[in-house]
Structure 1
């Protein structure tokens, strides 16, 4: 059985900021983005400064590659309804934060937002989603492209290369079957295990450097405490959800009973009125009153009266 390694969120907080471990993060990003990534530096911004009292449900790391592009990797453990909005805010903040005052807009940095989530975000059954911006014609259905001069000036082929690019990895949707090297990374993110046959970039270094047993006594104690706090937090959240579901069921039953009684009374009144019409029609019919008159007086149809 493969050895258990350090969870990726803990590695982000404590280990991957070390230059010696850049290769691990670069390997993951290379597999995900489909191009070779070389981490130039780990940056600090207002959004990703780490502190001892950081919330357990979120950790992030901001890297700059050798092309000057910014890559924000965020791990989110607990449900957050406005998470999509926060993804947008995070990229917008980075764009403005890293554009010096007075610089032209052409100096805006390309931003990649990589979001590793351990909760059910939105509706979708896949486990990796990519989001990028393109402009499509409303009438001719063509795609807006950069001009020849823009391609040369900004070294781009598509307009989407300028705008932020988003990746959402819904770890819990992964079926544990690694079909390619990117899947090997998703397997690691979900299981904290690296199989012998895995060959994805960065995993060999992760296997060597991210073992729990390789931590110092103090680091191991901190890691185990972190994991215990994570389990406690998950337990609290799940308990709250269960309690909420039970309260919802009880409230639903109560409302259902009240609604049922109300509907029952209404149905009883309607049935009583209908029976009264039938009784009147039957009496009129026995007295020899014509069907048209009975129908006009009671509101019953000719067929209903004939069947009495």
Structure 2
């Protein structure tokens, strides 16, 4: 069945829904749903998403979305389609740009505005070995001391592992639940579900409807979708090749099928296929 709505994990789709001037109400609603209930964003201003270092030797950073609220607090919102080496280091590096740009010439008391780095991930971290962390959807990280007390509360990293979000439409209890359900399943919808009946989501569905795109927008989206699918294909192939080598090593060592299943996380059928 032909898709009616765009894929929000494409670069084009993500910026269409959250990164355009007309999309600000959607981005504000999403961020307010993600942040604590005591926090409320009233307005946002999009800023230049390309940040340059202070010298020619410094690398530059290009964000998906970079904005500032009415208090001057900074928000970097990144869509990450696939695992990559040093992803966490990259987000920490990105956070240094909105911190450094606050420096004032002359005498300055170093009173910084808060910085939030938000990553929407189309994959799961592989470094959580215990419950509940490995199944959690939202991870909020702040600088803390050895006693778990927050040392500095103006730098926050939030990672959203979308594949871990498994709720059905009847289980959506919060505004954030609805946004994550929308992001994860948008491309599969043929009509707007009744749970998305308010004005913000109506606007989101309208912006995502492919039939409303002009020829240029549609071509740009198709190119972005191809890049996304090609990337997924490469990742899946690499995953299969890695697992295959692991299976071969286990079999060569005489391991049982149960041992291979436990070590790889694959089913018996998947192992036989590989």
Fold match by TM threshold 0.5: yes
In structure 1, stretches of 5+ residues that fail to align are 49-57, 145-158, 258-308
The structure 1 residue matched to 2:114, chosen from 110, 114, 117, is 110
Q: 1:200 to 1:101 in 2, by over 3 A?
A: farther
Q: 1:215 to 1:82 in 2, by over 3 A?
A: same
1:203 Cα shift? 2.1
Q: 1:115 to 1:200 in 2, by over 3 A?
A: farther
Q: How does 1:112-261 map to 2 (within 5 A)?
A: 112-121=116-125, 122-123=127-128, 124-135=134-145, 160-161=152-153, 163-177=154-168, 178-192=172-186, 193=189, 195-198=193-196, 202-254=200-252, 256=253
- Whole-angstrom distance in 2 between the partners of 1:23 and 1:98: 26
- Whole-angstrom distance in 1 between the partners of 2:242 and 2:208: 38
Q: Which residue is equivalent to 1:303?
A: none
Q: 1:196 to 1:160 in 2, by over 3 A?
A: farther
Higher helix share: 1
Instruction: Compute the TM-score of the two structures, normalised by the length of structure 1.
Output: 0.65
Higher strand share: 2
Q: 1:214 to 1:24 in 2, by over 3 A?
A: same
- Whole-angstrom distance in 2 between the partners of 1:7 and 1:59: 16
Q: 1:210 to 1:87 in 2, by over 3 A?
A: same
Q: Which moved more, 1:245-254 or 1:85-94?
A: 245-254
Question: Structure 1 segments of 4 or more deviating over 6 A?
Answer: none
Which of the pair has more CA radius of gyration? 1
CA deviation profile, 1:276-303 (whole Å, cap 9, x unmatched): xxxxxxxxxxxxxxxxxxxxxxxxxxxx
- Whole-angstrom distance in 2 between the partners of 1:251 and 1:103: 63
Q: Which residue is equivalent to 1:154?
A: none
- Whole-angstrom distance in 2 between the partners of 1:239 and 1:196: 38
CA deviation profile, 1:194-246 (whole Å, cap 9, x unmatched): 52223678323212222222211221122122212211211111111211221
Q: Which residue is equivalent to 1:60?
A: 64
CA deviation profile, 1:240-294 (whole Å, cap 9, x unmatched): 121122123324444x27xxxxxxxxxxxxxxxxxxxxxxxxxxxxxxxxxxxxx
- Whole-angstrom distance in 1 between the partners of 2:143 and 2:109: 18
1:30 Cα shift? 1.1
- Whole-angstrom distance in 2 between the partners of 1:221 and 1:245: 36
Q: How does 1:5-24 map to 2 (within 5 A)?
A: 5-7=6-8, 9-14=11-16, 16-24=18-26
1:179 Cα shift? 2.1
- Whole-angstrom distance in 2 between the partners of 1:226 and 1:214: 17
Instruction: Compute the TM-score of the two structures, normalised by the length of structure 2.
Output: 0.72
Q: Which residue is equivalent to 1:4?
A: 5
In structure 2, stretches of 5+ residues that fail to align are 53-61, 129-133, 255-274
Count, aligned residues = 227
- Whole-angstrom distance in 2 between the partners of 1:201 and 1:126: 29
- Whole-angstrom distance in 1 between the partners of 2:19 and 2:215: 20
- Whole-angstrom distance in 1 between the partners of 2:105 and 2:250: 56
1:186 Cα shift? 0.3
- Whole-angstrom distance in 1 between the partners of 2:182 and 2:230: 22
Q: Could you say what the CA RMSD is over the residues aligned between the two structures, in angstroms? A: 2.9
1:164 Cα shift? 0.6
- Whole-angstrom distance in 1 between the partners of 2:50 and 2:63: 13
1:44 aligns with 2:35: no
